[in-house]
């Protein structure tokens, strides 16, 4: 999650700080400040030089500021194009160090810097003003041009790209407008117009219009680094006074609008004539997709090539696409600064495509189109039902509805998978009596909305409203065939309507999004009087709201996800099957049977592994000729040190990877990827992944619905009773202890009451009492005739938890049988294990 671009959660690769050494045992003093060369940790040697660059700025060049920078020359030596990386609001140059190192390894010369007022840089924050931060950036370009490792297009003119998130993205746009030496820009999750961001739907219509985005404005200001006893912190006094006036009044004055407009790319968009990659987040209530749209369309009007990416994250959180976005930026700069070609498509949208049943991670795919169509392409109109409805603004504006809050973007990151996730006991979104709803008819076929929908509404019969009119908040919901409703995206669009006795009408643009509505679902427009993120009147008021048009919805059918390639097991299957048959024949194990033949004689055997072998491309033999059988009612421990081949064995068992030789049978059926018999197996492998702001119950419900299986087949109550989660089930997962998270993960694996339960390291992070509790859970599960397999490298865990064990070392089975037989009379499993693998006394 970010705070005005600064991350509230752990940053991409931590702080990226590396061990440093000083050349010749002392710092080198260079022109403009002090510097030290260092060697950063990583696969390739990357040098870095910490450098203080002194600049002058201010309206009359009357201020002197020391900027804390770090320069990374190309790792391979020689000259390379330069990239300047800006950081998010409230952060520093350290936030982008990992990105700088990666680009340096790719042959770029990279400069990172802490913006004035942040980190160790001096000066005061002016919100990327042309008089301050833009002047700073231009003088940094002067400095970059003097570095011998930087390729030049001319004297004092480096071949230069700029990139950054949020605050850093805006400075890239602003600098490109004021300095023609910038050759390409890649702004991410940033603004086009600060007046429209902080007072949405302001549109220059005078101070009475727009609705103050109070929550984000307050967070934005607080992130400026308030000093003790100083309410303005590190802000320029004029900026501090501006915020205080606006916050008290809940509306902008003319001076505030003029100041914010000067710090907006919208004011200079006609000057930006360089290639641009505009990356905007779909979970971003601070700078929604319409801000990226305005930047992209404005630059394209100047004749410059523009690519647009909408990805799953944003300022609200839920960002899990760091590597993907980095790849887009790298290919963009390779194309625009090196002429290599192969840059991002004209329009790319990333979409949640499923949940991995083994890792519980959301998988994401990218759909692309040759050109960016904007937010209103291929419109169609869907009629809306719903009579005129009375709604009320409560006294004091509280309680308020909740649309978007920092951290809730994790829910938005589910995209299409999240419909109805909060239904039935989840987080309240709209308060009763404060909202009107208007529905479309159920869809006859699936519909993918890409862009911003619009609707015209009428507000009438108002009482208690002031001269500014009624602030209302519109959002779009997805309503399932069973009536469960949830926000398609957790963002509301505010609008202020002159609600008089004669009534008033206005066209409302709903938040832009990419979202798939399934057949049988309805689209619901919700209009609310309150929203926690915005300033609303303290005086109570009553309105009547009606929809006077249908819902106009856009689509981009040209967006296409690449066809999934055939998985390796498809083309490897014939050779693997032949190898398995040869292995069985040559070793004399088992009787002959066709590869896919059901063995009725073994239908009651949960698991039978015969001659299993798997080697990786680097030659490592992970599993070698492994054979064992598991019977009903057993809790079997797959025991061995790290690297013994346990996880590889389990992944083959679940059909995730294919063995090179041997076979696996579940209840007499041979296991292949996607085999129907795998529905009888539940698994928990490589750590649980849950949405922290949802309750345990909602996480389980969402996971089960993602499997596409009938709701009543989940046997949720039985799984929960066995797991023993108790009242914690209805608390947010972020409040869980590690032990409760592990229990929830096991409950998830138990959904559907599979006949075979497979758990990889289920007691990681648990203390001995919690391990004993886990054993009780697993014994209860197996008591009904089901079977459990537990993989572990912890001897005490297997000894406490399992009835049987298979001991592995070096990919091979070295012992198997009841735990009591393996340990022998009076011995502990640790002694027996060390003796088995040849390290005992």
Look at residue 396 and tell me if it is in a domain.
yes
Two tokens, residue 358: 């083994």
pLDDT of residue 382: 97
Report the C-alpha gap between 480 and 782 in whole angstroms.
Answer: 36
208 pLDDT exceeds 60? Answer: no
Q: Which of 56-65, 381-390, 571-580 has the lowest mean pLDDT?
A: 571-580
Rg of the chain in Å (alpha carbons): 30
- Residues 360 and 257 both lie in one domain: no
pLDDT of residue 354: 59
Which residue among 345, 367, 389 closes a domain?
367
Give every CB contact of residue 615 below 8 A, 6+ residues apart in sequence: 621, 622, 660
Report the C-alpha gap between 524 and 207 in whole angstroms.
Answer: 31
> Distance between the two ends of the chain, CA-based, in angstroms?
53
Kindly indicate the confidence band of residue 688, based on its pLDDT and cuts at 50, 70 and 90.
Answer: low
Once rounded to an integer, what is the mean pLDDT over residues 765-790?
77
Report the C-alpha gap between 779 and 770 in whole angstroms.
Answer: 14
Report the C-alpha gap between 764 and 616 in whole angstroms.
Answer: 26
Two tokens, residue 371: 């050109």
Q: What is the pLDDT of residues 355-369, one digit of tens each?
A: 544 444 567 788 999
Once rounded to an integer, what is the mean pLDDT over residues 492-496?
87
Whether the Cβ atoms of residue 265 and residue 174 lie closer than 8 Å to each other: yes
Kindly indicate the confidence band of residue 45, based on its pLDDT and cuts at 50, 70 and 90.
Answer: confident
317 pLDDT exceeds 90? Answer: no
Once rounded to an integer, what is the mean pLDDT over residues 532-540?
83
Angle formed by the axes of helices 237-249 and 214-222, to 10°? 150
pLDDT of residue 368: 94
Give every CB contact of residue 708 below 8 A, 6+ residues apart in sequence: none
Look at residue 136 and tell me if it is in a domain.
yes
Higher pLDDT pick, 261 / 426: 261
Q: How many CA atoms within 13 Å lie on the side-chain side of 202?
A: 24
- Residues 409 and 521 both lie in one domain: yes
Look at residue 142 and tell me if it is in a domain.
yes
- Residues 165 and 127 both lie in one domain: yes
Highest-confidence segment of 256-260, 413-417, 690-694: 256-260
Kindly indicate the confidence band of residue 463, based on its pLDDT and cuts at 50, 70 and 90.
Answer: low
Alpha helices by DSSP H, 654-802: 696-707, 716-723, 738-750, 768-782, 795-801
- Residues 105 and 166 both lie in one domain: yes
Kindly indicate the confidence band of residue 69, based on its pLDDT and cuts at 50, 70 and 90.
Answer: very high
- Residues 184 and 199 both lie in one domain: no
Look at residue 230 and tell me if it is in a domain.
yes
Higher pLDDT pick, 397 / 731: 731
Higher pLDDT pick, 654 / 1: 654
DSSP letter string, 248-273:
HHTS--HHHHHHHHHTSGGGTGGG--
Burial status of residue 724 (CB atoms within 10 A of its CB: 0-12, 13-18, 19 or more): middle
- Residues 613 and 484 both lie in one domain: no
Higher pLDDT pick, 20 / 741: 741
Q: Which residue has the tokens 């922290």?
A: 692
Which residue among 262, 295, 320 closes a domain?
262
Report the candidate in 644, 496, 559 with the shortest Cα–Cα distance to residue 370.
559
User: Which CATH number covers residue 463?
Assistant: 2.60.120.260
pLDDT of residue 542: 87
761 pLDDT exceeds 50? Answer: yes
DSSP 3-state assignment of 780?
helix
Whether the Cβ atoms of residue 297 and residue 205 lie closer than 8 Å to each other: no
Highest-confidence segment of 92-96, 248-252, 314-318, 338-342: 92-96
Report the C-alpha gap between 130 and 303 in whole angstroms.
Answer: 24
The percentage of residues in the chain with a pLDDT greater than 90, rounded to a whole number, is 38
Higher pLDDT pick, 68 / 597: 68
423 pLDDT exceeds 80? Answer: no
Give every CB contact of residue 330 below 8 A, 6+ residues apart in sequence: 102, 103, 106
pLDDT of residue 774: 72
Look at residue 688 and tell me if it is in a domain.
no
Report the C-alpha gap between 290 and 640 in whole angstroms.
Answer: 54
Q: Residue 225 is part of which domain span?
A: 195-262
Q: Which residue has the tokens 């572990």?
A: 792
Q: Per DSSP, what are the bridge partners of residue 39?
A: 47
Report the C-alpha gap between 495 and 473 in whole angstroms.
Answer: 6
Whether the Cβ atoms of residue 739 and residue 770 lie closer than 8 Å to each other: yes
Report the candidate in 749, 720, 740, 731 with the shortest Cα–Cα distance to residue 693.
731
pLDDT of residue 718: 76
For the chain, the domain total comes to 4
Residue 592 has φ and ψ, to the nearest 5°, of: -70, 140
Buried b (16+ CB within 10 A) or exposed e, 184-216: bbbbbbbbbbbbbbbbbbbeeeeeebbbbbbbb
Q: What is the 3-state secondary structure (H, E, C) of 409-434?
A: HHHHCCHHHHCCCCCCCCCCCCCCCC
Once rounded to an integer, what is the mean pLDDT over residues 6-25?
28
Burial status of residue 150 (CB atoms within 10 A of its CB: 0-12, 13-18, 19 or more): buried
Q: In what order do the strands lie in the sheet with 681-684?
A: 681-684, 756-760, 787-792, 635-639, 804-809, 812-818
Two tokens, residue 729: 């089930």
Two tokens, residue 701: 């419900």
Report the candidate in 420, 391, 201 with the shortest Cα–Cα distance to residue 290.
201
pLDDT of residue 808: 87
11 pLDDT exceeds 60? Answer: no
Report the C-alpha gap between 471 and 536 in whole angstroms.
Answer: 7
Report the candidate in 743, 797, 752 with the shortest Cα–Cα distance to residue 635.
797
Q: What is the pLDDT of residues 157-206, one digit of tens each?
A: 999 999 999 999 999 999 999 999 999 999 999 999 999 998 887 654 44
CA angle centred on 166, ends 160 and 170, rounded to 5°:
50
Q: Which residue has the tokens 């088992």?
A: 590
Look at residue 833 and tell me if it is in a domain.
no
The rounded Cα 209 to chain-centroid distance in angstroms is 34
The mean of the pLDDT values for the chain is 79
Q: Which of 21-35, 307-321, 681-695, 756-770 has the lowest mean pLDDT?
A: 21-35
Q: What is the pLDDT of residues 250-273, one digit of tens each?
A: 788 889 899 999 999 999 999 999
Q: Which residue has the tokens 């419900």?
A: 701
Two tokens, residue 378: 């291929």
Q: What is the pLDDT of residues 101-111, one digit of tens each?
A: 999 999 999 99
- Residues 315 and 286 both lie in one domain: yes
Q: How many CA atoms within 13 Å lie on the side-chain side of 391?
A: 29
Once rounded to an integer, what is the mean pLDDT over residues 570-585?
34
Report the C-alpha gap between 786 and 800 in whole angstroms.
Answer: 19
Once rounded to an integer, what is the mean pLDDT over residues 402-421?
54
pLDDT of residue 209: 61
Once rounded to an integer, what is the mean pLDDT over residues 725-729?
80
pLDDT of residue 831: 58
Whether the Cβ atoms of residue 799 and residue 828 lie closer than 8 Å to each other: yes
- Residues 406 and 532 both lie in one domain: yes
Higher pLDDT pick, 141 / 636: 141
CA angle centred on 68, ends 62 and 74, rounded to 5°:
125
Which residue among 213, 230, 262 closes a domain?
262
Higher pLDDT pick, 718 / 811: 811
Two tokens, residue 335: 């194309």
Q: Which of 233-237, 790-794, 806-810 has the lowest mean pLDDT?
A: 790-794
Higher pLDDT pick, 205 / 458: 458
Look at residue 809 and tell me if it is in a domain.
no
Report the C-alpha gap between 247 and 227 in whole angstroms.
Answer: 19
Look at residue 660 and tell me if it is in a domain.
yes
Q: Per DSSP, what are the bridge partners of residue 436?
A: 527
- Residues 221 and 88 both lie in one domain: no
- Residues 183 and 213 both lie in one domain: no
- Residues 548 and 585 both lie in one domain: no
Q: What is the pLDDT of residues 622-647, one digit of tens each?
A: 899 999 999 988 888 888 877 788 88
pLDDT of residue 183: 98
pLDDT of residue 835: 57
Helix %, strand %, coil % of the chain (to 5): 30, 30, 40
455 pLDDT exceeds 90? Answer: yes
- Residues 258 and 271 both lie in one domain: no
Burial status of residue 726 (CB atoms within 10 A of its CB: 0-12, 13-18, 19 or more): exposed
138 pLDDT exceeds 50? Answer: yes
- Dihedral of the alpha carbons of 412, 415, 420, 426, in degrees to the nearest 10: -20
pLDDT of residue 765: 59
DSSP letter string, 203-228:
TTS-TTSS---HHHHHHHHHTTTPBT
Report the C-alpha gap between 787 and 29 in whole angstroms.
Answer: 69
User: Which CATH number covers residue 137?
Assistant: 3.40.50.1820
Once rounded to an integer, what is the mean pLDDT over residues 714-724?
77
DSSP 3-state assignment of 68?
strand
Report the C-alpha gap between 229 and 498 in whole angstroms.
Answer: 42
Give every CB contact of residue 756 below 8 A, 6+ residues apart in sequence: 606, 607, 630, 666, 680, 681, 682, 786, 787, 788, 789
């Amino acid at each position: 999650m970010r705070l005005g671009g600064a991350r509230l959660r752990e940053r991409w690769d931590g702080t990226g700080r590396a061990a440093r050494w000083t050349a010749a045992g002392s710092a080198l003093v260079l022109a403009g400040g002090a510097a030290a060369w260092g060697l950063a940790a990583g696969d390739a040697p990357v040098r870095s030089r910490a450098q203080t660059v002194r600049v002058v700025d201010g309206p009359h060049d009357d201020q002197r500021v020391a900027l804390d920078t770090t320069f990374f020359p190309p790792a391979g030596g020689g000259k390379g194009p330069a990239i300047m990386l800006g950081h998010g609001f409230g952060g520093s140059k350290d936030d982008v160090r990992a990105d700088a190192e990666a680009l340096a390894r790719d042959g770029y010369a990279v400069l990172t810097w802490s913006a004035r007022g942040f980190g160790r840089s001096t000066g005061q924050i002016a919100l990327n003003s042309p008089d301050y931060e833009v002047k700073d950036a231009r003088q940094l370009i002067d400095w970059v041009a003097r570095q011998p490792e930087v390729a030049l297009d001319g004297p004092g003119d480096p071949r230069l790209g700029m990139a950054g998130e949020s605050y850093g993205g805006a400075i890239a746009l602003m600098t490109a407008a004021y300095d023609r030496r910038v050759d390409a820009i890649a702004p991410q999750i940033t603004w086009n117009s600060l007046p429209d961001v902080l007072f949405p739907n302001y549109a220059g219509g005078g101070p009475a219009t727009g609705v103050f985005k109070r929550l984000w404005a307050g967070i934005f200001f607080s992130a400026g680094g308030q000093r003790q006893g100083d309410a303005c912190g590190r802000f320029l006094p004029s900026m501090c006074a501006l915020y205080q006036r606006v916050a008290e009044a809940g509306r902008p004055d003319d001076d505030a609008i003029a100041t914010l407009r000067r710090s907006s790319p919208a004011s200079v968009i006609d000057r930006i004539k360089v290639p641009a990659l505009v990356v905007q987040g779909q979970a971003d209530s601070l700078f929604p997709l319409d801000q990226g749209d305005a930047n992209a369309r404005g630059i394209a009007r100047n004749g410059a090539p523009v690519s647009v990416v909408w990805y799953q994250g944003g300022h609200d959180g839920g960002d899990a696409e760091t590597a993907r976005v980095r790849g887009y930026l790298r290919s963009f700069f390779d194309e625009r600064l090196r002429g290599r070609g192969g840059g991002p498509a004209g329009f790319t949208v990333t979409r949640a495509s499923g949940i991995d049943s083994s890792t519980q991670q959301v998988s994401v795919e990218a759909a692309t189109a040759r050109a960016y169509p904007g937010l209103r392409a291929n419109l169609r109109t869907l009629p809306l039902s719903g009579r005129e409805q009375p709604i009320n603004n409560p006294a004091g504006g509280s309680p308020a509805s909740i649309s978007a809050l920092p951290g809730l973007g994790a829910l938005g990151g589910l995209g299409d998978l999240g419909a109805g996730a909060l239904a039935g006991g989840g987080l309240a979104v709209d308060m009763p009596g404060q909202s009107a709803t208007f529905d479309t008819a159920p869809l006859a076929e699936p519909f993918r909305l890409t862009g911003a929908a619009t609707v015209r509404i009428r507000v009438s019969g108002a009482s208690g409203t002031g001269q500014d009119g009624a602030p209302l908040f519109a959002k779009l919901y997805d309503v399932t065939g069973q009536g469960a409703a949830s926000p398609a995206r957790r963002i509301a669009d505010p609008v202020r309507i002159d609600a008089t006795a004669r009534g008033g009408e206005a066209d409302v643009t709903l938040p832009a999004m990419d979202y798939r509505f399934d057949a049988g679902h309805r689209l619901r427009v919700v209009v609310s009087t309150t929203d926690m993120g915005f300033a609303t009147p303290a005086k109570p008021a009553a309105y009547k709201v009606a929809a006077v048009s249908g819902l106009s919805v856009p689509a981009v059918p040209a967006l296409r996800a690449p066809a999934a390639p055939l998985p390796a097991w498809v083309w490897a299957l014939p050779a693997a099957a032949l190898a398995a048959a040869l292995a069985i024949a040559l070793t004399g194990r088992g009787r002959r049977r066709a590869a896919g033949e059901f063995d009725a004689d073994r239908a009651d055997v949960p698991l039978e592994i015969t001659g299993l072998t798997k080697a990786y491309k680097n030659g490592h033999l992970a599993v070698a000729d492994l054979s064992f059988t598991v019977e009903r009612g057993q809790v079997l421990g797959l025991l061995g040190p790290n690297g013994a081949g346990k996880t590889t064995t389990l992944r083959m068992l679940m059909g995730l990877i294919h063995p090179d030789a041997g076979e696996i049978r579940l209840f007499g059926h041979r296991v292949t990827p996607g085999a129907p018999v795998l529905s009888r197996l539940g698994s928990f492998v490589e750590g649980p992944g849950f949405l922290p702001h949802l309750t345990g119950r909602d996480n389980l419900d969402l996971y089960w619905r993602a499997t596409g299986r009938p709701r009543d087949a989940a046997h949720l109550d039985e799984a929960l009773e066995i797991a023993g989660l108790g009242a914690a089930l209805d608390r947010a997962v972020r409040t869980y202890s590690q032990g409760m998270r592990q229990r929830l993960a096991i409950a998830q694996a138990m959904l559907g009451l599979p006949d075979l339960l497979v758990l990889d390291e289920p007691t990681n992070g648990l203390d001995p009492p919690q391990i004993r509790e886990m054993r009780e859970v697993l014994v209860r599960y197996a008591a009904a005739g089901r079977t459990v397999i537990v993989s572990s490298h912890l001897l005490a865990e297997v000894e406490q938890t399992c009835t049987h064990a298979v001991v592995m070392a070096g990919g091979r089975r070295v012992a198997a049988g009841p735990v009591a037989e393996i340990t022998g009379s009076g011995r502990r499993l640790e002694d027996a294990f060390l003796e088995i693998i040849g390290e005992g006394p």
